Amino acid sequence: MQPVQAAYPLTRFRRLRRTAALRALTQETTLAVADLIWPVFLCDGEGQRQPVVSMPGVERRSLDLVVEAAAEASDLGIPVVCLFPYTDPGLKTPGCEEAWNPDNLTNRAIRAIKSQVPDIAVMTDVALDPYNAHGHDGLVVDGVILNDETVEALVRMALAQADAGADILGPSDMMDGRIGAMRRALEAAGHKDVAILSYAAKYASAFYGPFRDAVGATGALKGDKKTYQMNPANRDEALRLVARDLAEGADMVMVKPGMPYLDICARVKETFGAPTFAYQVSGEYAMLKAAAQNGWLDGEKAMLESLMAFKRAGCDGILTYFAPEVARLLRRG
């Protein structure tokens, strides 16, 4: 559609920028609390808060405090919390068996939250890296990340999380064929209403470092993840991956990281029209927080502007560590 407008001075764009009321009236994009998913890190124990040094303001919480965080999120109107576990290194094995243990940290947290904060949706991470002695998202043999064997393990993990009461599964592993395998297994097990938010376009990014600190995967990781995560130089491949995951039964899709990949977010939404999310990842969060703490940025304004950019690019929602802070600001108006 070609816009029609009179020539200057009959058209003056500044007329509609003159006051806050006029700017609000003509604002094209809005950010709401309902657009937010809050990633929360878990640790074992009781009454435990463990700061993540590379992510100022973020901490791992024991189960009792994770339930409190979920209640806080619900009170703020945040619709979803997403759980990421810090697994005891003694439970990490080459076979990743703890990933589908019904009583692992994530599954206990799901049950606790759904028992005490039933109205909030719980999303999980489906990948083997928190449980893997090698630090990878998949099973490793002789330095090679196995695809089909990993998919079988991920299906077991997904079913255990669905059994525990998860509302949304977030496969973040980037193995080929995992969405179809999970969807078929969920249907066969009677979990027909469990949604899948696929990390469909997940890039092999340098922005994940602080997250790996948070889940304890940094020291374990051997090599890199370039054989299964996407090449940051590729754009068309992202559309092919999204198309595949939707065809295999994903209900929603995600682009990760977020801000450096807003072009991908826009193309995915424009091409497929499916519910599209982005993850404002740990490195993005850490950069903004560090700059704000040093007085180089206005932290609140930069935070809100960054999240508005996701919505402007077409995202239906954002996973962000800023979620509770943003929710409080939006509620204050």
Query: Catalytic site residues?
Result: 202, 256
CA 31 to chain centre: 17
How many of the other CB atoms lie within 10 Å of CB of 141? 10
- Comparing CA positions, the residue from 85, 105, 96 lying closest to residue 131 is 96
The span from the first CA to the last CA of the chain, in angstroms, equals 34
Cα dist from 72 to 76, 77, 105, 118, 214, whole Å? 6, 9, 20, 13, 21
Residue showing tokens 């969920």: 186
Two structure tokens written together for 61: 């919480």
d(CA 19, CA 327): 25
- Phi and psi torsions of 330, nearest 5°: -65, -35
Instruction: Give residues with Cβ within 8 angstroms of 241, minimum separation 6.
Output: 200, 201, 230
DSSP string of 98-131, one letter each residue: GGG-TTSHHHHHHHHHHHH-TTSEEEEEE-SGGG
Two structure tokens written together for 191: 């979990």
Q: Is 323 exposed, middle or buried (0-12, 13-18, 19+ CB in 10 A)?
A: buried
CA 321 to chain centre: 9
CA 137 to chain centre: 15
Q: Which amino acid does the sequence have at 12?
A: R
Cβ atoms of residues 303 and 325 within 8 Å = yes
Q: Which amino acid does the sequence have at 288?
A: L
Number of H helices, E strands in the chain: 11, 12
